[in-house]
């Protein structure tokens, strides 16, 4: 399939100088806005997760007037709350050889050398500030016996740099950001709009100057104006229907930016998380994540013998019935240097490979074991539960199996109930294209956190999502947005009575009316599930040219089904959850096509993008650095049904040698 390539020179605004000095030099020479002038400037922040809440509170603390929009009934319910395992920082508290450079290197390598080097170094550089900030806020990080902050390991690293609060790290960090946000709301510097969903960006003279947001309680569309707009609305994983994301997570704000001219970068880079509870039927609405932190002490295995796997699938044997010598700890076997702590994309593909060969361990054959027997025998159940107790409880509530319960004794060796896990859609590394200042290709429009593309390349290391969200919100955007706003201080506040706002408002109302007028026979969820099946089957863990072309044909047919046979009950007035979901599904269909286009265009395998035609003899991802060492930027063609054009941002590495990833030695 041929795409129209536009020869546009993309200015990523990366500062000059060595990579370790770029951020320092940038801050030394950036333009500033003085305190009196900050009071004249309004900033819209859409989203209240870790990125949005930290940005809104920090910008308000600096003196800007902030309008903050939350799709949930409270910022405390943002999906950041679901993050379990921890947050990375290069503090080197364990004295095990960590450093800012090593965190930077691990992140670039973990992303399969497809991230922008300068952005990643800055992320590693500010990571240490995040921990100090959160401790000052009272975040209850785990501590060693002597009172020092504790660390544990995560995938893709050989050091312990992950700070954590049991298996509730995201919740505790969000409460810290929420407390800072509440303080600014109380002081009147942040105006908080809960139960509002952004539907459109309003452009005035070529710049983002506001949004149209829907009040999800009254059903009314409302205009809001500001000098700049910041999007912090998360990723697009729910295009696959079944994912580890909360059901309210959607890509509509990002797609609205895309339709207004913001480039969408690397949409093919979708992360499959290796440790999720396997699906158990076709009635599920989402999947549940089991923290990657479990791979510190949990060992992943399948039976060595095919007959044992068949017995497990038939239910005539349990995992605890299989002795040590008949277990294949395949990650330890294939990747001895990293073992169970290989990056997520590597662990996920390895699990799929074993299950495809028939060694899956549940009734569907799509599961592997995560076993804590060795750790419990070594440390004792009390120590293991101290580290992972709430995760064990969560697993038991969902599956009715207690992973800490003694299940069998074979030849004097104690075996405990193992967990069953399988990969699932989790995080999206692709997102809105941003430059070094986190500004999109649309002036005045910024994107932070998971909804931008900038820091993770083709695969995100565990415990780096929280790091990026808080880095962007607390320590990067508050500096870089001033470079844009410094020449906006003489621009008066915008009236929502401007023609541009009225036109955008009328457009949103017409789109809503058109959805209600279809009056077909299919529910939103039935079409969304069909989209999810197409995406998982053809645009999931394993992709082929033929499968991707089939996916595009099916998604285009599904769009027609959506446009002609959708049924939305209720009315346009007041709260209508199905109507809100219909808008999101429309955008998921557009997003699904974007992911497929990007995956077709990238004839290589890297990170979360695995084209089965491009793999080594050992089944590992095979990159093509000569032809694909760039960021894929997709430009809206004017209609959802038209194929977008394509722009390349070449990647330039100065500090790191690009080489084949190796987790074996």
Positions marked catalytic: 344
Spatial neighbors of 517 by CB under 8 A, at least 6 apart, are none
Closest among 510, 502, 489, 158 to 343, alpha carbons compared: 158
Cβ atoms of 126 and 47 closer than 8 Å: no
Please tell me whether residue 124 adopts helix, strand or coil conformation: helix
DSSP conformational letter for 473: I
Alpha helix (H) residue ranges in 213-285: 252-259
- Residue 459 near residue 408, CB atoms below 8 Å: no
- DSSP per residue over 347-366, as a string? HHHHHHHHHHTT---STTS-
Count CB atoms within 10 A of the CB of residue 546. 11
Task: In whole angstroms, give the CA distance from residue 59 to residue 226.
Answer: 14
Look at residue 233 and give its three-state secondary structure.
Answer: coil
Secondary-structure breakdown of the chain: helix, strand, coil percentages, each rounded to the nearest 5: 40, 20, 40
DSSP assigned state of 195: T
Residue 607 backbone phi and psi in degrees, to 5: 50, -125
Nearest to 292 by CA among 192, 426, 400, 439: 426
Give the C-alpha separation, 379 to 374, whole Å. Answer: 9
DSSP 321: G
Nearest to 80 by CA among 430, 608, 468: 468
The DSSP result for 62-113, as a single string, is HT-EEEEEESSSSGGGSGGGG--S-EE----TT-SS--HHHHHHHHHHHTTT
**CB burial string 120-154: b at 16+ within 10 A, e below:** bbbbbbbbeebbebbeeeebebbeeeeeeebbbbb
**Number of residues written out for the chain:** 665
How do 42-46 and 65-70 pair as beta strands? Answer: parallel
189 is written with which tokens? 């510097």
């Amino acid at each position: 399939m041929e795409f129209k390539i536009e020869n546009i020179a993309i200015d990523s605004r990366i500062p000059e100088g060595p990579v370790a000095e770029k951020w320092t030099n940038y801050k030394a020479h950036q333009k500033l806005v003085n305190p009196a002038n900050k009071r004249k400037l309004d900033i819209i922040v859409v989203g209240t997760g870790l990125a949005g809440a930290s940005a809104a509170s920090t910008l308000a603390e600096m003196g800007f007037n902030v309008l903050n929009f939350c799709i949930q009934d409270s910022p405390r319910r943002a999906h950041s709350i679901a993050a379990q395992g921890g947050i990375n920082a290069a503090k080197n508290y364990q004295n095990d050889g960590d450093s800012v450079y090593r965190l930077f290197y691990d992140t670039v390598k973990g992303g399969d050398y497809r991230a922008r080097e300068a952005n990643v170094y800055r992320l590693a550089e500010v990571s240490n500030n995040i921990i100090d900030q959160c401790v000052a806020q009272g975040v209850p990080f785990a501590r060693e016996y002597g009172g020092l902050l504790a660390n544990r390991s995560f995938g893709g690293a050989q050091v312990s740099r992950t700070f954590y609060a049991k298996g509730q790290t995201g919740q505790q960090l969000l409460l810290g950001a929420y407390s800072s946000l509440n303080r600014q709301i109380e002081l009147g510097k942040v105006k908080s709009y809960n139960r509002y969903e952004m539907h459109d960006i309003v452009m005035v003279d070529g710049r983002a100057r506001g949004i149209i947001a829907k009040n999800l309680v009254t059903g009314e569309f409302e205009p809001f104006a500001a000098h700049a707009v910041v999007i912090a609305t998360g990723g697009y994983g729910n295009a696959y229907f079944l994912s580890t994301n909360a059901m309210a997570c959607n890509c509509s704000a990002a797609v609205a930016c895309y339709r207004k001219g913001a480039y969408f970068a690397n949409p093919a880079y979708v992360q499959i998380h290796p440790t999720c509870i396997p699906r158990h039927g076709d009635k599920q609405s989402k999947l549940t994540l089991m923290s990657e932190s479990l791979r510190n002490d949990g060992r992943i295995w399948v039976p060595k013998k095919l007959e044992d796997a068949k017995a497990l699938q038939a239910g005539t044997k349990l995992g605890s019935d299989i002795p040590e010598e008949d277990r294949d700890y395949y990650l330890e076997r294939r990747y001895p240097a990293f073992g169970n702590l290989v990056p997520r994309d590597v662990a996920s593909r390895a699990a799929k490979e074993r299950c495809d060969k028939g060694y899956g361990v549940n009734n569907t054959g799509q599961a592997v074991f995560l076993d804590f027997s060795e750790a419990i025998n070594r440390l004792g159940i009390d120590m293991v539960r101290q580290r992972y107790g709430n995760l064990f409880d969560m697993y038991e509530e969902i599956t009715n199996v207690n992973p800490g319960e003694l299940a069998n004794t074979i030849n004097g060796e104690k075996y405990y109930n193992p967990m069953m896990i399988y990969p699932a859609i989790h995080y999206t590394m692709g997102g809105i294209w941003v430059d070094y200042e986190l500004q999109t290709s649309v002036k005045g429009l910024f994107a932070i956190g998971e909804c931008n593309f900038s820091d993770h390349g083709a695969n995100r290391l565990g415990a780096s999502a929280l790091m990026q969200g808080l880095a962007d919100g607390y320590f990067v955007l508050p500096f870089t947005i001033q470079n844009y706003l410094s020449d906006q201080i003489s621009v008066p506040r915008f009236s929502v009575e401007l023609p541009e706002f009225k036109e955008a408002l009328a457009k949103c109302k017409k789109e809503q009316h058109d959805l209600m007028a279809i009056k077909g026979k299919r529910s939103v969820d039935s079409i969304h599930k069909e989209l999810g099946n197409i995406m998982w089957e053809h645009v999931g863990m394993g992709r082929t040219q033929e499968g991707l072309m089939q996916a595009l044909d099916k998604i285009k047919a599904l769009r027609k089904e959506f446009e002609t046979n959708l049924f939305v009950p209720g009315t346009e007035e007041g709260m209508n959850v199905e109507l809100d979901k219909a808008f999101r599904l429309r955008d998921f269909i557009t997003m699904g096509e974007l992911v497929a286009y990007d995956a077709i265009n990238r004839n290589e395998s890297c990170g979360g993008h695995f084209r089965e035609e491009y793999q080594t003899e050992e089944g590992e991802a095979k990159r093509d650095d000569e032809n694909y060492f760039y960021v894929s930027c997709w430009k809206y063609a004017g209609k959802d049904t038209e194929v977008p054009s394509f722009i390349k941002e070449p990647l330039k590495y100065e500090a790191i040698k690009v080489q084949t990833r190796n987790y074996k030695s």
